[in-house]
Structure 1
Amino acid sequence: MDLVFNLGILLAAFPAAKVIHVSRHPLDVGLGCYKQYFAQGQAFSGSWEESLAIM
């Protein structure tokens, strides 16, 4: 569920809620993928070069 698309509904349901938007640097995302072992589906993450190539 992508919360950005449901933000209006969430704010209507919780009118006093605070919204914090957080973004990460792309190299930080690549390093996180590289360090995490995925059992299947993310073969690119086993190689630092491939992790950087998709960014």
Structure 2
Amino acid sequence: IFFVSLFALLLMCFTDWILGSVLGSLSGVPIADIDMEELSRYWFYLAITKLP
């Protein structure tokens, strides 16, 4: 169960980063503006609060 949630978390992180880069480049914002560490920290806290 733990590994499944960890995999899902990584998948969410990855897709969110891709969406962010695509939307960012579409709106003219450089990808460097998206901080990967901030993003993973956000997903980490989200997972901690959502998981029982």
Question: TM-score by structure 1 length?
Answer: 0.28
Bigger radius of gyration among the two: 1
Task: With a CA cutoff of 8 Å and minimum separation of 6, indicate the structure with the bigger relative contact order.
Answer: 2
